[in-house]
Amino acid sequence: MNPEALDVALTMSMLLHAKPMDEVHVMRKVVIDGSNTTGFQRTAVIALNGSITVEGVEVPIEQVTVEEDSGRKTGDTKTSVIFRIDRLGVPLIEVSTGPVIHDPEQAGKVAFAIGRILRATKKVKRGLGSIRQDLNVSIKNGALIEVKGVQELELVSKAVGYEVQRQLALLEIKDELRQRNVKASDIKEEFVDITDILSDSESKIVQSALNQGGVALALELPSFKGLLKRELTPNVRLGTEMAKRAVFWGRVGGIFHSDELPAYGIDSNHVEEVAKKLGCGDLDGFVIVADSLENSKDGLRAVVGRAREAVERVPEETRAANPDGTTVYLRPRPGAARMYPETDVPPVQISQDRLERLWENLPRMPEELAKELGTKHSLSPKLATQLVDSDYLPLFEEIVAQARGVAPSFVATILTESLRSLQREQVPVENVQEDQLKQAFELVSKGATAKESVLDVLKWLAFHPDGVAEEAVDMLNLRMLTESDLQNIISKVVESNQALVQENGVKALGRMMNLVMGEVRGRADPRQVTELLRTRLEQVKA
């Protein structure tokens, strides 16, 4: 096991007041979606039973584990999934809180607090996805749902909120089905071949399935009419949930349900005929799948399972977060049974010496760090805190050490407030690499460009991720002017404003200054311009 990863995890554990294990045992957690080439993810408990206080409330930290990160899914086709494996095997620290967070807003705050402590170790990688939140959400009478892959902190409370809403809606549907006297056993695994009926439909999905020798099958869902289109969260309906199950288990592209038909090339005649063939009554719904016989059957079987659950309970699931905070079915929730010992990695004993060494080198907590930064670099408390909470603290320290003569408060402002406002203007600042940021400040330090130009340079780099800061300065015409360049420009401005100069002499300095700066802004130091201009005006007078 990578000793540095273990040290960071132990350090984290100490900051979270969790108790390190005496001996760390690595386990294999079976993951067969392809994201781990071995088919398992290696994971080990480092510490247990910690706690942090968030706004006066104590939140238990149940467990801190070190895991290896999985490959990142970058795309899929009907029969394959594509992963990038540059992230695979990178050590990852998982912090699990106890089930004591009671509202979505609190969830967001706890995640933020843990993130701050993680950053205090200065070992956290910058960028989207380097800190991810998995949320376990359960409500009364509902189920424990694990939401994976919440990448942005702002999304935590939203995702929790949506999940609560989804479970409440599912409970409502359950009650309604009960009122309609539906039992799980009423939903029969009887699939009716409706290939004949749909053979003339204009649905591309149906036609492509039939052309490849597939079938169209239908399943009756007794008393489900109107419920399939019931919205659980924005754009997620009960029908969507069924579809995702069918896709997962049946490898089908999707399903058609009666609440959304006629549509997609299936017209009202088709709908009527299918309903008739299934023997549907007024309150009954149905689902159609078109694919190979095997896939169609597997898909509909999954729909039957989901429909039966709709009658009985909210099913336990692992779900994936969408960018808007809503979630979709990812896979069933695995149990402890998928864990077995990793025999290739011997257990690691955590020695007292190691713990003492780490204890003596514990990083300062965010508040302390902010205070120290404020004093050392004359930053306002607000700016210092923002810096500590950003991903840029290590970079800030590097830049300040390297870029002599650039005010630390200026660097801090750019790295926090300015970058964020660029982001708000839809500038893709995430494209700007640390090296490029360093280059930009370096140019100011060398006097090659004015500090007022830094933001423009970064903006240019955001749109030209392969570029370097020097290039940006040239492309944007932001290179500092030499004294003789400046003299020339001043001469030109003085010449074209002869009357003003002749009349007012040095008194025209203010107005002349505006005119010259209009030409050279960002490329000259205003103090230097003032001086050169004053000398020139005095000469004119003489």
Partner 1 sequence: MTVLVLEGYHGGVLQKLRKSRAKIGSMIRLTLKSGEVFEGTLIPRSEYSDPTHIVLKMKNGYNVGISLDRTEKLEVIGEGEKPHFTKPSPPANHAGLPKVAIVSTGGTIASRVDYRTGAVQPALTAADLASVVPELSSIAEIDTHILFSEYSENIGPTHWKGMAEEVAKKIANGAEGVVISHGTDTLHYTAAALSFALANIPVPVLLVGAQRSSDRPSSDAASNLTGAVALAAHADMATVGVAMHRDLSDHIIVAHQGTRVRKCHTSRRDAFKSINSNPLASYDLKTGQIELSKGIAKRDKSRKLALKSRFDQHAYLIKFYPGMNPGIIDSAVSTGARGIVLEGTGLGHVSGHLFDSVKKALKREVPVFMTSQTIWGRVDMNVYNTGRDLLNLGVTPLEDMIAETAIVKLMWVAAQTKSAGKIREMMLQPIAGEITSRTLVEAS
Binding site for partner 1 (CB under 8 A): 19, 21-25, 27-30, 32, 37-40, 43-45, 48-49, 63, 65, 335-341, 343, 346-347, 349
Round to whole Å and give the CA distance between 407 and 66: 39
C-alpha closest to that of 67 among 103, 109, 96: 96
Helices (H) and strands (E) in the chain, counts: 21, 20
Residue given tokens 């203010």 in the structure block: 510
Least separation in angstroms between residue 65's CB and partner 1 is 8
Round to whole Å and give the CA distance between 26 and 2: 12
Least separation in angstroms between residue 113's CB and partner 1 is 24
CA distances from 175 to 301, 311, 312 (A): 23, 8, 9
3-state SS, residue 121: coil
**Given the complex with partner 1, which of 100 and 365 has the nearer CB atom?**
100
**Given the complex with partner 1, which of 80 and 484 has the nearer CB atom?**
80
What's the one-letter identity of residue 74? T
What's the one-letter identity of residue 448? A
Least separation in angstroms between residue 307's CB and partner 1 is 31
Least separation in angstroms between residue 62's CB and partner 1 is 9
Least separation in angstroms between residue 268's CB and partner 1 is 43
Least separation in angstroms between residue 101's CB and partner 1 is 19
**Given the complex with partner 1, which of 43 and 165 has the nearer CB atom?**
43
Question: Nearest-5° angle of CA 441, CA 443, CA 444?
Answer: 65
Least separation in angstroms between residue 292's CB and partner 1 is 16
Round to whole Å and give the CA distance between 19 and 10: 9
**Given the complex with partner 1, which of 212 and 514 has the nearer CB atom?**
212
In the beta sheet, which residues pair with residue 84? 72
3-state SS, residue 152: coil
**Given the complex with partner 1, which of 16 and 422 has the nearer CB atom?**
16
**Given the complex with partner 1, which of 13 and 167 has the nearer CB atom?**
13
Phi, psi for residue 92 in degrees, rounded to 5: -135, 135
Neighbouring CB atoms inside 10 A of 119's CB total 22
Tokens of 529: 């311009």
**Given the complex with partner 1, which of 50 and 374 has the nearer CB atom?**
50
Round to whole Å and give the CA distance between 393 and 248: 42
CB 200 within 8 A of CB 262: no
Q: What is the 3-state secondary structure (H, E, C) of 405-436?
A: CCCHHHHHHHHHHHHHHHHHCCCCHHHCCHHH
Residue given tokens 């957690």 in the structure block: 29
Least separation in angstroms between residue 45's CB and partner 1 is 5
**Given the complex with partner 1, which of 29 and 109 has the nearer CB atom?**
29
Round to whole Å and give the CA distance between 162 and 168: 10
**Given the complex with partner 1, which of 129 and 346 has the nearer CB atom?**
346
**Given the complex with partner 1, which of 334 and 447 has the nearer CB atom?**
334
Round to whole Å and give the CA distance between 99 and 148: 16
Least separation in angstroms between residue 51's CB and partner 1 is 13
What's the one-letter identity of residue 204? K
Least separation in angstroms between residue 249's CB and partner 1 is 19
In the beta sheet, which residues pair with residue 61? 50, 97
